[in-house]
Structure 1
Amino acid sequence: MTWDGAPPPDHVSKGPGAVARIIWRGMGIVLVIVAGLSVLLPLRLVERPVFGLHRPWTPWITQMVCRVSLFWLGLSYRRTGAPMQGRGAIVANHSSWLDIFVLNAADRICFVSKSEVAGWPGIGTLARATGTLFIARDPRAAKAQTALFEERLLAGQRLLFFPEGTSTDGLRVLPFKTTLFASFFSEELRPHLSLQPVTVVYHAPEGRDARTYGWWGDMEFGTHLLATLALPRHGRVEVTYHAPLRVSDYANRKALAAAAERAVRGDHALAAREQGDNETAKS
């Protein structure tokens, strides 16, 4: 059995305490999101006709909502390094649905997501409200996707996507798929664009399975969400921003993707080793 076919960790908390935590944390996060949307949506009605695709105000609201949500959940968050300035995109490893909150908390970004997400109840509405760019996983749509990337990036948006193409158990970084990297090599973007690799590492609560925050295979979102809300206490997540890579310094999409993957994978492996050493010392 490979890692992606392995059963999820047995970390589901049960009993009255778990139910109380689910209600307390869940309601708190929902109220934070609703409050954020009540400000974001009316502001977007002004922002859109004045600035078009450029979103100078509303990403600040999304960032604040995600930071408060992580605080309410109890997941400790730390950022190392600084988001780049100027035009560019971001790539990161993908472990969990929690990445959406974590990476929005770290920087003011717009996610790139598969087109199916737009139709998901609740999540699709939130994704559209926060400026997510939806793309079809179809090679025949590559030219149209490149045009969408150009339009958003030239408007000043900072796009973020997950080149692994799927989430993991949090203990590994999968090979980067190179398809979307081709968009950065258009004549309009290549001379002016940089790509910033970001590593996200989750540390499980003491005594819990190291895969606690991972979301992979056929795991159901609802079950994982409830298990996460019910945890007696949470661990922490570290977000590391690496030095930006100038697109013009690379010959093609494969070379750029390989450089980004090395940066993300190297820091992830180092953090995993440190986590293992700490657990060994405690035992």
Structure 2
Amino acid sequence: MGRLRVYARIARVLLVVALGLTMASVFGLFERAGIAHSMVRRQRWSRFFMRRLSNALPFRVTVHGELPKTPMLWVSNHVSWTDIPLLGMITPLSFLSKAEVRTWPVAGWLAAKAGSLFIRRGAGDSQLIRKQMTRHLQQAHPLLMFPEGTTTDGRSLRTFHGRLLSAAIDAEVPMQPVAIRYLRDGEIDRLAPFIGDDDLLSHLMRLFANDQGEVEIHVLKPIACEGRERAALAFEAQQAVQRALFGEVTKPAEPQRVGELIAA
């Protein structure tokens, strides 16, 4: 692909980022003036920005399934930083993100102004973030998290961790599993994954130096959370995403409760 076309694509992304910075600056000015902005408005403006950022990325996106009409806790597999704009464009959402993102230049500030919740890994603040997530959901604000806790190469799933799924149980809202898959020439895309020690600029250059890839987003059947154990919910969501991405698989033994393990 010609170098000029690559630079044109990068310029388009930079223009969208400039738009996002302008929007976030407006929110910041209102905050300093003591004018509160509702989370509903933040999520709508965030979706507006995510749609334009997604349109600037070299992907053709197809969404399968029916979007929920009520607020839910969304859970998705995680392949790349591009998951966030691609999922964020389909419906107004907030994201649960690792705390390091908040310190990233530009992206961290935009994420904070958009209403993201941040968690520090291994910092012992899971109970605090669980309460924040529960309050967020109880106030009818959809929230998306990546229960694998890290990105993958898109060829397999890691274990879905259930410790923060208690927020959906506490808030008495369903869980919405969603599966995202990147394809290129009919095969799993090797360019889209953002893993290991990869850096954002290098990743962008690789994406923009190639033709468009395909992205499939599967909005799956919601899972009722009332009266459920969080480990069972994580297992059910992982199995649903596994089937959507890779077809039927041999079902492993379902996780047991602690009491059942002791009794055995």
Equivalent residue for 1:109?
Answer: 93
Q: Indicate whether 1:23 and 2:7 are aligned.
A: yes
Q: C-alpha deviations, 1:35-93, integer Å up to 9, x for none?
A: 244245435738x97776x4222323322322233323331011111221223210000
Percent pairwise identity: 28
Equivalent residue for 1:203?
Answer: 183
2:239 corresponds, among 247, 257, 262, to 262
Where relative contact order (Cα < 8 A, 6+ residues apart) is larger, the structure is 1
Q: C-alpha deviations, 1:77-123, integer Å up to 9, x for none?
A: 11111221223210000011110111111221111011111111122
What TM-score results when the alignment is normalised by the length of structure 2? 0.84
Equivalent residue for 2:257?
Answer: none
Equivalent residue for 1:131?
Answer: 115
* Count, aligned residues: 246
The CA RMSD over aligned residues, in Å, is: 2.4
SS in 1 for 2:39: coil
More deviation, 103-112/65-74: 65-74
More deviation, 104-113/71-80: 71-80
Alpha-carbon contact 1:70-1:101 (below 8 Å) kept = yes
More deviation, 155-164/90-99: 155-164
Structure 1 unaligned spans of 5+ = 1-12, 272-283
What TM-score results when the alignment is normalised by the length of structure 1? 0.79
Alpha-carbon distance in structure 2 between the residues aligned to 1:238 and 1:208: 12
Alpha-carbon contact 1:63-1:108 (below 8 Å) kept = yes
Alpha-carbon distance in structure 2 between the residues aligned to 1:200 and 1:145: 25
Alpha-carbon contact 1:164-1:175 (below 8 Å) kept = yes
Distance 1:260 1:50, change over 3 A: farther
Aligned partner of 1:32: which letter? V
Distance 1:91 1:134, change over 3 A: same
1:70-219 aligned at under 5 Å gives the runs 70-138=54-122, 140-186=124-170, 189=171, 192-204=172-184, 206=185, 210-219=189-198
Alpha-carbon contact 2:76-2:178 (below 8 Å) kept = yes
1:246 corresponds, among 201, 224, 230, to 224
Q: C-alpha deviations, 1:11-55, integer Å up to 9, x for none?
A: xx7xxx2x3233211111121232244245435738x97776x42
SS in 2 for 1:211: coil
Alpha-carbon contact 2:97-2:145 (below 8 Å) kept = yes
SS in 1 for 2:243: helix
State the shift of 1:217 in Å.
2.0
Q: Which has the larger share of helix?
A: 1
Distance 1:20 1:136, change over 3 A: same
Structure 2 unaligned spans of 5+ = 249-264
Alpha-carbon contact 2:182-2:188 (below 8 Å) kept = no
Aligned partner of 2:51: which letter? R
Alpha-carbon distance in structure 1 between the residues aligned to 2:18 and 2:66: 29
Alpha-carbon distance in structure 1 between the residues aligned to 2:126 and 2:242: 27
Alpha-carbon contact 2:42-2:115 (below 8 Å) kept = no
Aligned partner of 2:177: which letter? P
Q: C-alpha deviations, 1:174-196, integer Å up to 9, x for none?
A: 1111221133333xx1xx31100
Q: C-alpha deviations, 1:132-163, integer Å up to 9, x for none?
A: 10012236322212211122112222111101
SS in 2 for 1:79: strand
Q: Indicate whether 1:229 and 2:213 are aligned.
A: no
